[in-house]
Structure formats: C-alpha cells, structure tokens
C-alpha cells in the first residue's frame, strides 16, 4: 500500500510537469505559425488540457480511495480495535463525520470494557464465598439470641442483608426503593457505632412516591456517597450530625441531593474531587473523591455524559452531592 501511495504521488508530479511543459510548448509554437494552424493548435491545446485534467482527477479520486480502503481493511481485520487509523483523505464531510462518530463510540465502549474488567479483577481479588459469610453471620446471630444479646443479633441480621444486596445482587441497575432500603440497612449498622449522634433524613414529595420508588439507577449509587458524608464529614466534627437524602423529579430527570452538616471541604480539596470526576486529576493528587468519581463514571457510562455527579461544599458548613439521572422506569 505504501509503494502504491508513493507511485501515485510520483505520477501526479509527472503529469503536472508534463501538462505545464506541453502548455508552454504549444503557446510558443502558436506564436510562430499561420492563423489556420493557430486554430488547430488551440483546439489541440484545449483537448490535451482536458485529457491531463481528467487523468489528474482520476488519480486524485483513487488516492483517497486507497487510503480509505486501507483504513477499512485494518478495522475489519483487527480483533480488538481501540481506534480507527487516522486518514488524511475523506470522500466527503459525511465520511469524516462518520469516522469521528465511530471513534467516539469505540472510546466509550473501551472505557466501559476497561471499567468492567477492573471490577471483575477486583471481585476476583476480594472473592468471598457468600454462603459461608451468611452462614457465619447466622451462627453469630443465633448465639447472640441464645445469650440474650438482641442488639448483636439485630446487627448480624442487618449486616447479612447489606451483604446480600452488595454481593449476591448481580443487577447493574436497581430501583430507587431497593437502593433506599439498602441505605437504611447501612445506616442502621452505622448507628451501632455512632448512636444517637447520627441521623438520617429521606425527603420527597408524597404525591411522587409511587413513581419515584420505581425509577432506576445504578446499584450502589447512594451508599458510597453516604459513607463519604459520615466518614469525611460528620465523624470529623464535634456533636451530632445529619445526612439528608432529598429526591426530586422533573419531566425528564431524577435528581438526588445528599447533604451533610459535617466539616465540609476547603476549595483546594473540592477542586481535586471535581478534577477526579472530570478525569483531569494530576498524578499524586491523593485518594479523595475516589468513591464519588466511581459513581459518576458508572452513571455516565450507562446513561451518557448529560448525567452524573456535582459536588458543592463549604468549609465548616457541610457538603452537598447532587446526582442527576434519567427518569427511567
């Protein structure tokens, strides 16, 4: 293919040189001949010009044709294509637009596949037999009940329910109702540690509840953010703390705001968290915001760049995490 391309370039130069040489020669000859002969030479000049231009046009058409044929050949023969080979030539604007769209689709597909492989690797790395876990927790619960330790038994039951949701439930997308039930279970477990110091509020319009609880979102969207609010917000301050989950609906979107009245973040840390979500975090920028960035990435991979997570925070006041999702039932 490279030899053919070089041959085309050489032929183009040769034809151009020959055309200009012939043109100048005929002009010089026309100046020295009679009028009748001059008309003959003029017709000959026009015909030869048309012939040379036709050949040039054919070559200029064949050149991008060979380039595009090469690119399509690579695309169809490569088992795992990550990007279309670049090209200097396109048949038209529509072909250029199609190539750009295909590259965008390939990048999204590759990002989703990479995220999926990382999750699979982590699952294998942290593999645990759920039946063994549930049986062990049930044994502890039974012993606690026999010993009259009701709070220990309740905690074991809550922990088993939490692990059933996070480990055994293989669905990528769940209902808002399922996600909220898991949050209540998680918060119940956390209250054994924090006691009355920790409060959870869930707010929504009563008129919207039937539709709201059937809306869909990625599994474990809320729990990582609530965990961040407790560990990095409320735990770091003196006194009581509240986590508020407010759910709202528009005609097209499901909006969820998770707020805490913890210590908040200074502008520098907030900027790092937002950079991590945007994928622009510089090396060595720390581990803050990894859980929120993971939630944001999963939402965008499933529903598109229109949706995702935005973080607002004021030092000493608290943090708001806003999640936007499509209103899908």
Residue 132 lies in a domain: no
- Does 210 reside within a domain? yes
Query: What is the pLDDT averaged over residues 69-86?
Result: 59
Q: Are 262 and 319 in contact (CB under 8 A)?
A: yes
By C-alpha distance, which of 308, 311, 301 is closest to 271? 311
Q: Given this model, what pLDDT does residue 290 score?
A: 66
Q: What's the pLDDT at 32?
A: 62
**Percent above pLDDT 90 for the chain:** 28
**CA 162/CA 186 separation, integer angstroms:** 7
Q: Would the pLDDT of 36 be above 80?
A: no
Residue 30 within any structural domain of the chain: yes
Say if 62 falls within a structural domain.
yes
Examine the domain organization and report whether 205 and 95 are in the same domain: no
**86/258 Cα distance (integer angstroms):** 44
**100 and 215 share a domain?**
no
Residues 188 and 158: their CA atoms lie apart, in Å, by 7
Residue 233 lies in a domain: yes
* Full residue range of the structural domain in which residue 68 is found: 2-72+91-114
pLDDT of residue 7: 47
Q: How many domains does the chain have?
A: 2
Choose the final residue of a domain: 81, 114, 147: 114
Q: By 3-state DSSP, what share of the chain in percent is helix, strand and coil, each rounded to 5?
A: 65, 15, 25
CATH number where 293 lies: 3.30.565.10
**Between the CA of residue 310 and those of 82, 106, 292, 295, 315, what are the distances in Å?**
30, 26, 9, 11, 17
- CB of 241 closer than 8 Å to CB of 195: no
Considering the domain boundaries, does residue 315 fall inside one?
A: yes
Q: Please, which residues bridge with residue 328 across strands?
A: none
User: Of 82, 114, 146, which marks where a domain is finished?
Assistant: 114
Cα–Cα distance for residue pair 322/308, rounded to 1 Å: 8
Question: pTM of the prediction?
Answer: 0.61
Confidence at residue 6, expressed as pLDDT on a 0 to 100 scale: 55
User: Which tokens sit at 156?
Assistant: 């074991």
Confidence of residue 304 (pLDDT cuts 50, 70, 90): confident
Query: Residue 279 domain-assigned?
Result: yes
Are 110 and 220 in a shared domain?
no
Over residues 116-134, the pLDDT tens digits come to: 566 555 555 455 566 667 7
Q: Is residue 259 part of a domain?
A: yes
Indicate the SS3 state at residue 218.
strand
110 and 200 both lie in a single domain? no
Question: Which carries the bigger pLDDT value, residue 81 or residue 194?
Answer: 194
Closest among 228, 220, 230, 229 to 178, alpha carbons compared:
220
The pLDDT of residue 4 is 46
**pLDDT bucket at 247, cuts 50 / 70 / 90:** very high
**Domain-terminating residue out of 83, 114, 145:** 114
Q: What is the pLDDT of residue 28?
A: 65
Q: Of 223, 208, 288, which is closest to residue 254 (Cα–Cα)?
A: 208
Q: Tell how strand 241-249 and strand 198-203 pair up.
A: parallel
Q: What is the pLDDT of residue 83?
A: 54
- Alpha-carbon distances of 179 from 54, 201, 221, 226, 232, rounded to whole Å: 68, 15, 8, 12, 22
Q: What would the mean pLDDT of 232-260 be, rounded to a whole number?
A: 94
HSE toward the beta carbon, residue 206, CA cutoff 13 A: 0
Is residue 236 within a helix (H) or strand (E), and if so which, with residue range?
none
Total residues found in the chain within this entry: 329
């Amino acid at each position: 293919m490279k030899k053919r391309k070089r041959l085309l370039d050489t032929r183009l130069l040769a034809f151009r040189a020959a055309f200009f040489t012939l043109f100048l020669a005929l002009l010089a000859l026309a100046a020295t001949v009679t009028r009748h002969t001059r008309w003959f030479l003029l017709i000959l000049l026009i015909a030869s010009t048309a012939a040379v231009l036709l050949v040039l046009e054919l070559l200029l058409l064949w050149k991008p044709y060979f380039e595009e044929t090469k690119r399509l050949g690579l695309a169809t023969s490569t088992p795992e294509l990550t990007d279309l080979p670049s090209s200097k030539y396109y048949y038209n604007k529509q072909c250029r637009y199609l190539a750009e769209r295909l590259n965008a689709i390939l990048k999204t597909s590759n990002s989703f596949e990479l995220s999926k492989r990382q999750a699979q690797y982590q699952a294998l790395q942290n593999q645990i037999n759920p039946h063994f876990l549930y049986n062990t927790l049930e044994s502890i619960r039974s012993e606690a009940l026999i010993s009259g330790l009701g709070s220990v038994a309740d905690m074991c039951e809550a922990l088993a329910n939490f692990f059933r949701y996070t480990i055994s439930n293989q669905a990528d997308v769940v209902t808002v109702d399922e996600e909220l039930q898991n949050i209540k279970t998680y918060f119940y477990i956390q209250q054994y540690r924090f006691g009355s110091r920790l409060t959870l509020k869930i707010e929504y319009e009563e008129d919207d509840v039937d539709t709201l609880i059937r809306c869909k979102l990625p599994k474990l969207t809320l729990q990582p953010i609530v965990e961040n609010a407790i560990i990095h917000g409320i735990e770091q301050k003196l006194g009581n703390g509240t986590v508020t989950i407010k759910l709202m609906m528009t005609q097209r979107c499901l909006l969820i705001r998770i707020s805490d009245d913890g210590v908040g973040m200074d502008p520098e840390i907030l900027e790092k968290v937002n950079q991590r979500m945007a994928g622009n975090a510089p090396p060595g920028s720390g581990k803050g915001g990894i859980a929120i960035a993971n939630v944001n990435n999963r939402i965008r991979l499933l529903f598109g760049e229109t949706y995702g997570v935005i973080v607002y925070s004021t030092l000493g006041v608290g943090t708001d995490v806003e999640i936007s999702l499509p209103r899908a039932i």
